[in-house]
Structure 1
Amino acid sequence: MKSIVNRAKKKENFQKKMPMDRSPYSSSSSESSQFSSPSSTPPKNSPVVLSIECLKGSSKADEWAGDMLQTGDIVEEIRIGNMIIKSPFKNGKSGVQKILHNSFKQKETSIHVRVRRGSDEFAELQACIVPNDQFGAKKQYVIRAINDPNYAVGFCDRTETECFHLQASRTSRMVSALERTPLQDGYVSYPWERRKQEMLSIPNSSSFYSILFLPKASDKVAFRYNDLEDTLARAQSWINASQESGVPAIFMNIQTESLLTKISGDTASSTVNAGSLSDLSNLANTSLYGFEDYHGVDIGVVRAVRMWFSPLAGEIPIDLKIKDTDTKLGFAISRTEEGFIYISSVVEGDPDTPSSRSGLSNLYTQAATASRLLVVCRITNQKVLPWMVSPTGAIRCFDTVSLSQKLSLHRHAKVPILMHVFMWDPSVNFANVGSIRSRAMSTNSPSSPRGLHFTHPPNENQVLPLPLEEDSTESRGNDEPNIMLERDTAGELSFRFHDFALKNNWV
């Protein structure tokens, strides 16, 4: 009896459960239909395709143009030599890597790739197969564009939906690439030795000259110095006076130069605490300052001024050939107050002197006509221009006595003299030294007058070329003048010079 009742209850419960089970099933079916709509996430059964991965951009970012491959493009066809492989690709990326590996081993590296964007847009790339060592993974191969070796792409497996999403995000990826792409530096080899031979009027030597102005000592006992403004003023007055005297030099640049020295605490006009930057404001016009340490101020910095200048129109070489019959070189040298060596006189009427044969006499005449001094800047490639001003105010330069002795020794030893002088005409291209020398040696140049005068009235500081003396001892062939000259240097201590008793130093 109990078993019959139990069977009846089970049947009743089964009939009650049936409509309840059908209701949730139909509801889930409806929700599944809505999930698969186009507005929902992509279905999981999107096919896997072979896609492009851009590894390195082109030099002009042409990978963003429509005719080059981009990340997310779907590969449709690969052509290597006579072999054509079309989508779908067996084993995807790994299968294509085996094909690339075999082709590379057989030295068949030319590859043609055709890709698809969306449903109806296509692009192609002619490239070559290269190992992927420099891009990271080993034993992998990528393709590099033939027309731009900087551009390289690889292959990867993606679903078709992922490729469509990447293609749609092209604009945002371009902006992202713009933000993260840095400018890179590099090195380029340069033929310096050949350029120094070809591009300089004097091989391996520049035409940039400088002179260092040390601050002037205001107190010889305590070794105190004038301020920086005084040094700058002396530098500017020196270049202005040099130009006024007829030196064809142009100002190029000026800079302060720090020189270390050992001083006592009382000597420095200002001190700097290494731990405080506020003290630097006190150094704007200071010529000598010191650094503090645990033992007081014992290291000083002298602020000198270096002035850079250059010849107005370059330099020209003068090659003086010596003959056995030469008894004189035919020119005299002097020095300006600013320390420049210049040709002060030339022999007239004798075409057989080294100065006449080399064209030096003609250049001297042309310089005097242009109100310029014929400044000697090099003798046998050694610079002979002033290079320093001492704390006493004396200009460190070359003395004319030693120069005259060296030039005379050249004549006695029959050794040619290579001398460079400043040019003064910027309208002529003086880079061609050969044409300059031929023009300077031309016999059609105007003859030198007895007395040379500048076109404008000279001031009291101007140094003028002097006319030849009829009774000049050197013009008659003797090597030494009758008047004893005092050597115009006092050594390294004071850099002081004495005036010549004889202005012209004939050689």
Structure 2
Amino acid sequence: MGSDKNKTLVCVKQVEQEVVDEWDESMPLPGDIIEGFSEDDGEESFVPVKTMSEFRSKLGKVNPQVEFIRLKVRRGDSTLKLQARIAQKKGSLLHRKYATIQAATDERHVADLGDLTLEQCTDLQEMSRKLVVKLQSIGCSWGFRRHGIKYDWEMKARTHLPDQHCSVISSILFMPLQSEHCIDTTTARCMAWFSAAVSSGVPLEKLDASRKGTDWDEQQNQTLQGIRLWFLPGLEEILIELIPQPGEDRFGMEIKHTEEGFVLIHSVMTESVAERGGLRELYEEAIASGFQLVISRLEGKSLMPSSVCFDGLIQCCDLTQIKQNLSSAIHQIDTIQLHVMAWPNPSRATPSPTQAIGSVALLSPNPNGYFATAHFD
């Protein structure tokens, strides 16, 4: 009994494939007991093995022209035949190479073999079985093998973002007021701000609202740290270039704040830089459709409101500073780039000088000020 207990078997101790949800039942898995192999499907060519050194020695004698071998492994109460490749791996002793096996379908899946007792093999098999059950429970059951593909991130950002250095998505952080000790109260205030912005004609689409911290009622030594609301332009974000000419002393647009902290174009002068850039046409369409023409970014910098303090003040961009930047640019005859949140208008007979990127088409606001339906292009 004692000798049987200490008897060792050739076993897969571990595999080098770290992405476990890409393992496959047809691959050698930790705990698999290797009883032998053959160079083809015939039983007459089956080569039994009893030790790891014997297995490696016999692998080294296989014809190099043989692409696959057939492993005979014991996994639980079942005996399986797995297809595998012979791989060369460096050992620690003077970095000498020795033969081992890898999965036929994934060259990263290389087996680390060892002489283990039956008890050790059984423990490893149980670990592998539990892992398989866990992966299946979260939807990672054996499926198609995955691999990495190259992606031209720079080109995609240049093509599909209004500004390749800025995200289309914005967010605003709502800190709880002194009197607010409940998550529901702060969340309600957050949604009141969003609903008021949409009702006033600011084209927004809510993505998510997440909280940080816990309710005061749940744990007295922790307080709510804030609600962050993520949103994006509800219709489309359009790039406008304002190109002044010598002798012009203003861009010809008036900007103001909405009550919710957004910067909007309040008016556009005729025969001005802004009109040549297409802003007057967009402004008139906005008013006719019940929207505000909101500036989302100026020279790549966000003009969106960023946070609401503990005292309830909305932190937003300083209009005085924005006007100073515009004034400086017009006097230096510098081109200014700004992005406005607008809407698609397929009825235009001629192309507009503006460039629309990242369109998200929505229906017009309903009488209650909410968007009825939405779809992403």
Separation (CA, whole Å) in 2 of partners of 1:190 and 1:387:
35
Match of 1:324 among 246, 263, 266: 246
Measure, in 1, the Cα distance between the counterparts of 2:335 and 2:148. Answer: 41
State the alpha-carbon separation in 1 of the partners of residues 131 and 185 from structure 2.
52
Alignment match of 2:100 (pick from 142, 152, 161)? 142
Q: Distance in 1 between matches of 2:201 and 2:236?
A: 15
Q: Give 2:89's aligned amino acid.
A: P
Cα deviation, residue 238, structure 1: 1.9
Q: Which amino acid aligns with 2:280?
A: S
Higher-strand-fraction structure: 2
Q: Partner residue of 1:204? A: 165
Distance (whole Å) between structure 1 residues aligned to residue 228 and residue 49 of structure 2: 75
Aligned counterpart for 1:178 among listed residues 129, 132, 144? 129
Q: Which protein has greater RCO, CA pairs closer than 8 Å, 6+ apart?
A: 2
Q: How does 1:71-470 map to 2 (within 5 A)?
A: 75=37, 97-98=56-57, 100-101=59-60, 108=64, 110=66, 113=69, 127-131=85-89, 133=91, 140-149=98-107, 150=109, 178-179=129-130, 181=132, 194=154, 196-217=157-178, 225-228=179-182, 229-257=184-212, 282-283=216-217, 291=221, 301=223, 303-348=225-270, 350=271, 353-425=272-344, 439-441=351-353
Larger radius of gyration: 1
Secondary structure, aligned partner of 2:251? coil
In the alignment of these two chains, the number of paired residues is 315
Deviation, 1:248, is: 0.7
Partner of 1:33: none
Q: Residues of 2 paired with 1:456 and 1:152: CA distance?
A: 63
Contact 2:261 2:304 in 1 (8 A): yes
C-alpha RMSD of the superposition: 5.3
- Given that 2:257 and 2:263 are in contact with CA atoms closer than 8 Å, whether structure 1 keeps it comes out as yes
Change (3 A) 1:356 1:130: same
Q: With structure 2 as the length reference, what TM-score do the two structures score?
A: 0.62
Give the AA of the match of 2:129: L
Tell me if the contact between 1:389 and 1:395 (Cα under 8 Å) persists in the aligned partners. yes
Residue 62 of structure 1: SS of its match in structure 2? coil
Report how far residue 375 of structure 1 moved.
0.4
**1:384 positional shift:** 1.7
Shift in Å, 1:129: 4.3
Letter in 2 for 1:246: G
Give the letter for the 2:100 counterpart. V
Q: TM-score, normalization: structure 1?
A: 0.48
Distance change (3 Å), C-alpha of 1:178 and 1:370: same
Name the SS of the counterpart of 1:316 in structure 2: strand
Task: Calculate percent identity across the aligned residue pairs.
Answer: 22
SS in 2 for 1:206: coil
Contact preservation (8 Å) 2:39, 2:66: no
> Retained in 2: the 8 A contact 1:211–1:388?
yes
